[in-house]
Structure 1
Amino acid sequence: MKQASMHVASLTLDEMNPRHAQPTKSLEESIAAILDASAPKLLRLAKSIAERGLNPTELIVVMPDGDLNVVLEGNRRVAALKLLHKPSLAPTEQLQRKFAAIAASGEVPRRVQCIVAGTRQQAAPWIKLRHTGENDGVGVVKWNPAEVSRFGGRSTPTEKARLLTDAVTVWFADDAGLIADVATVRENRITNLGRMIGDPDVRGRMGISFDGDSVVSDFPKERMRQILARLFHDLAGSVSVDKIKTKRQRNSYLQQVEEDLPKLADRLDEPQRFSGTAPDSNNEAVETDKTSDSATTKTPRRKRTDFEKRLFQSVSMRNVSLRTSEVFQEAKRLSIDEMPNVAAIMVRIVVDIVVTDAADQLGWKRGQNDLKGRIGAALHQVDPTQDNPALSDAWRFSQKDEGALVLKTLHQFVHSWQSNPLTSEVRKLSLAYGPLLTHIDELIEKKKR
């Protein structure tokens, strides 16, 4: 068998496709049979092809037949391509309109890479292996849920919860009570812990984030001991899923444990990164005995986490206007380290356009004369009692004692070319205003219902 590039027009579907109970007699019948089996699945496949193209890791297998090439493997993909290029092949007007709309939304490949087999018999062993499961390890061995999560960069809340339990076990190995609670949570309440740390407000106030297989702390470990001990003790005991199911309940929990949370004044200038098995020697500060004359070891430079690399990286906005969403998404692609000046300007711009957009959509009239007023109006709407810990920095930076200085800094980022923003300043502002943007988006969604 050999590989070749072929035009979609030269391909035809297999009339003896084993997916069909009976052989088909034409291309139209073959397409109709695939649509009868599951039109929604073929529409989703077509949408994926229009958006991202064909999967380059799975080539189509064809067999020459006169002027055409019969598709032995990949009939659904080729059917989707045929319908995208010629929606009239669909048997109903409704499906024709849907495929036409999908085709107009992206770019549809006109040529595809194929494996050319001389005969059906030559391709048969490989096609059978592709569709009949693991075959004792010879075929494709599917990932289990944990492996899927790890491939996704530990992206699921449950996997993040497991990373945190691993890290806490290493960090506080000397604390028997905490370790016992961690073991209980890991064994019986891991999804509850995942629900808590899957909430960006909880992570933000506790000062933790995740980077690959590492847990990242905004505070020294010892400043984290009290809240982690409280969290694991509560989850191992009286705090069930019914008490932390909603965002409001989780924020209420944060208020209850306010005294155990690390103080913002103790926040590190640069976060520390720890793996779940041992401190990351490239990132964790080296502890030395300050009273010893030989304590001359310097703190190695710590690697910044992905959470810190880009503006508002943990924030999603789905309910703001289209233009605001486009600006926000473009701003999120900015690297703070590589483009600190542009990132600093965009912090100010993004915050301003989001609070202005919210005011327009929700009809806020008061407090719209200046940036402080616009931010203040938004804060009063999303946090009227001023008791949401996740918004404490936003209140402090824009409305309270140091607010005037911070707002002046934001203005200088845009208007003063003598101002040279520090990356640490940009990160601090991004982290402070990120929860506000999230709450504004949620408020817009709630008002739209």
Structure 2
Amino acid sequence: MKHVSMHVASLTLDDNNPRHAKQTANDTESIAALFEKGPEKLIRLARDIIQHGINPTELVVCMVDGDRNVVLEGNRRVAALKLLHNPKLAPTENLRRRIAAIAKSGEVPRRLTCVMADNRLQAEHWIKIRHTGENGGVGVVRWSTSEASRFGGRSTPTEKARLFTDAVCDWFPDDEEFLSNVHAVRDARITNLGRMIADPTVRNRLGIAFDGDVVLRNFPRGKVRPILTQLFADFAGPVSVDQIKTKRQREKYLEGVESILPKLSDRLDEPEKFSKYSTGDESSLDKIQGDDAEKDNKKPRRKRPDFEKKLFQNVTLSNVSLRTSEVLEEAKTINIEDKPNTAAIMVRAVVDIVTTDVAAQLGWKRNQDTLKGRIGAVLHQVDPDKTDAALSDARRFSQQDDGALVLKTLHTFVHSWQSHPLTVEVRKLSMAYSPLLQKADQLLEKKKR
């Protein structure tokens, strides 16, 4: 099979696409059939193409059929491109308007690199393993929850905002007016929303959190619906970036909607999760496509290990001062589920005390004015080449300024009365900083020799 550059207009969607229940007569019918499978998915794909271009890691596969270049693999991508070039191909006026608005926001690619197959049979093997699951490792091996979380943890506030809008669309699929505002914010004011939900105080008051590429909702849908409806109406309309730029302005906004914020008494025992990795009927990151693959690979629900129940459960410090060691041992008695507020405060306290103790014993003077500086100094000494994978989360959380669990989150747990720490956040922070504490103690032992 050879690679050729094709103009989008010269490509014809497959009228025998397995995604369609019956054969289609033309591109218009094929596009309508794709919208029937899930209009929001095709809209998101069109928007992603405008924002990031065509995925260079996956090529469209075509074959010549008479005077047509039929798309065998990549029909959704080609359909999205055709819509962006001609929104009138969409089956409803609402969809036409939305596609047209997306098309105006950037440059639409006109050509695609395609792989030309001689016939369907030649392409069959590659298409099958692309769409029927892992197939014992021959197909696409999906990331586990932890793998996806590690990757997604590097997301920017804007990317988190996009994920949040995906979650909201999933939670309230039938409220057209509400979703209209959600789409308006996503298309035109996504950075404003990102600035808003990057604030840990805002996330706590809304009852949402992020665990990698998973959105956690800590209240029932009905309890968050009023505030989310108001939030997206405001951001689609009168609220500009100048009104939520500072932390005080964001707090003022929350004060103005205090009456419709969810009440702590309504908090769920366990948060409900939304993941962008879940599609169709899938409900978790680990679900595998394909009936046979699902039967072969289905795993029992993982039981949470004991070390995740209490703070710094596996950490033992023998070279720090006696009081520092005592503080850690007392912190290790705190059950995260039972006392999330105390646990959250003690995560920051223990990390601060240990890094301060190490610096004092070793006589460090530079970068000791802030907690970020003290943690950074320890990281530099124990992992100067930044190659220790065990310290990657501690480095990311402590040295980056944007994200869900950065240092300002720890500060907020201590200093903000509006902050309501989530057990998943506290547990993740405890596990992230545990290797740092252990290696800091080992550094003291090494330096004292």
In the superposition, the TM-score normalised over structure 1's length comes to 0.45
Which has the higher Rg, Structure 1 or Structure 2? 1
In the superposition, the TM-score normalised over structure 2's length comes to 0.45
- Higher RCO, Cα 8 Å, sep 6+: 2
